């Protein structure tokens, strides 16, 4: 069965640079969630989209923005990167906007140097 696809899998950036992470949800899933996971931490919710509209926002810095496109894929844009942004970024998808059976992608490991 098709799973959530994330790209790139690994990304190395320098401080103050920008990064764009992409997420392709499971086919027919209309809802995308972004989470950030620091080393040894549990995933923390950043932002979500349902039917191409932002549905919720968590502890996401103002330097970050995201959107969901007409094909339901989503992109997380990160600017003015800081060392503390180094983490695993996961995208999850589900159907119906309420988070039932939320499936996660393999993640993007972002390293800021």
Partner 1 sequence: GESVGLHLPTLSVQEGDNSIINCAYSNSASDYFIWYKQESGKGPQFIIDIRSNMDKRQGQRVTVLLNKTVKHLSLQIAATQPGDSAVYFCAENISGNTGKLIFGQGTTLQVKP
Q: Which residues bind partner 1 (CB under 8 A)?
A: 4, 31, 33, 35, 42-45, 48, 50, 55-56, 58, 90, 92, 94, 97-107, 109
- Report which of 106, 15, 22 is spatially closest to residue 69, judged by C-alpha positions: 22
Q: What span, in angstroms and rounded, lies between the C-alpha atoms of 70 and 55?
A: 16
Question: What's the sign of the alpha-carbon dihedral 18, 70, 27, 53?
Answer: positive
| Strand, helix or coil for residue 83 | helix
CB of 17 to partner 1, least distance (A): 23
Of residues 52 and 79, the one with the C-beta less far from partner 1: 52
Of residues 33 and 72, the one with the C-beta less far from partner 1: 33
Of residues 17 and 109, the one with the C-beta less far from partner 1: 109
CB of 65 to partner 1, least distance (A): 17
- Report which of 32, 29, 60 is spatially closest to residue 44, judged by C-alpha positions: 60
CB of 87 to partner 1, least distance (A): 13
Half-sphere exposure of 52 (CA within 13 A, CB side): 4
Of residues 24 and 50, the one with the C-beta less far from partner 1: 50
């Amino acid at each position: 069965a098709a799973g959530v696809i994330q790209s790139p899998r690994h990304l190395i950036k320098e401080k103050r640079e920008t990064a764009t992470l992409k997420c392709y949800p499971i086919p027919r899933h209309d809802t995308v969630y972004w989470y950030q996971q620091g080393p040894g931490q549990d995933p923390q919710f950043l932002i979500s989209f349902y039917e191409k509209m932002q549905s919720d926002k968590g502890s996401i810095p103002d330097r970050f923005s995201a959107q969901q496109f007409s094909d339901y894929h989503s992109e997380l844009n990160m600017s003015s990167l800081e060392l503390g942004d180094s983490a695993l970024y996961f995208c999850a998808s589900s159907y119906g906007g309420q988070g039932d059976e939320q499936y996660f992608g393999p993640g993007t490991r972002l390293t800021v140097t």
